[in-house]
A and B are shown apart, each in its own frame.
Chain A
């Protein structure tokens, strides 16, 4: 069964260091999302891609976060420098259908980031 792949599963980093997360969506899925989830809360959308284009990054802290999906397939989310408040689960999701028709997104297992 096709699934969204994320790596690493866990990451511990010191504050002020750089960290990167990788996501490989389900093959053929044009829409890719990065969400951040703090324990006990719902996923918060950071950035959304349609193919290689960013369609929404209004909630991405652009002074320290960046995201790219250069060939419209896999994607990387980077934080530089990391801060203590960035500790959270970072979830990648993908969907096949253009929004407006369905809101079924498939999630990866996430990267749990701990900043110390």
Chain B
């Protein structure tokens, strides 16, 4: 079954900032990554955190707190093209396990 929890949907306004949270199972965990998937497309890698702290890549940032078994993806200066599903995925026991995904809706 799924060991990652993330909200099913989030809505934000174009130009704003949105945070998508993810909690994970700790057993065998070694890192948390984030993927974006547009409708009809394949998941594409966004970021990876193995250590606590913030990783920034352009408008996207990802954060990890191992002590809280928690991470988030932060999207800034939202654009309409950011409308997609976002998955957190944990590296655990040599596997990549995906969450159920968060559907991001962006309003003009």
* Contact between chains at A42 and B96 (CB < 8 Å): no
In addition to A102-B91, A103-B90, 7 A-B residue pairs with Cβ atoms within 8 Å of each other are A35-B98, A41-B101, A42-B99, A56-B94, A99-B94, A103-B32, A108-B42
Interface check B89, CB cutoff 8 A: yes
* Contact between chains at A42 and B2 (CB < 8 Å): yes
Q: How large is the interface on A (under 10, 10 to 19, 20 to 34, 35 or more residues)?
A: 20 to 34
Interface check A21, CB cutoff 8 A: no
Binds A, one of B10-18, B43-51, B53-61, B70-78: B43-51
What DSSP secondary structure best describes chain A's contact surface? loop
* Contact between chains at B43 and A43 (CB < 8 Å): yes
Residues on B facing A (Cβ under 8 Å): 2, 30-33, 41-45, 48, 50, 87, 89-91, 94-101
For residue B45, which residues in chain A have a CB less than 8 angstroms away from its CB?
Answer: 104-106
What DSSP secondary structure best describes chain B's contact surface? strand
For residue B50, which residues in chain A have a CB less than 8 angstroms away from its CB?
Answer: 102
A73 to B35, CA, bound (A): 24
Residues on A facing B (Cβ under 8 Å): 33, 35, 40-45, 48, 55-56, 91, 93, 99-100, 102-110
A35 to B100, CA, bound (A): 13
For residue A55, which residues in chain B have a CB less than 8 angstroms away from its CB?
Answer: 94
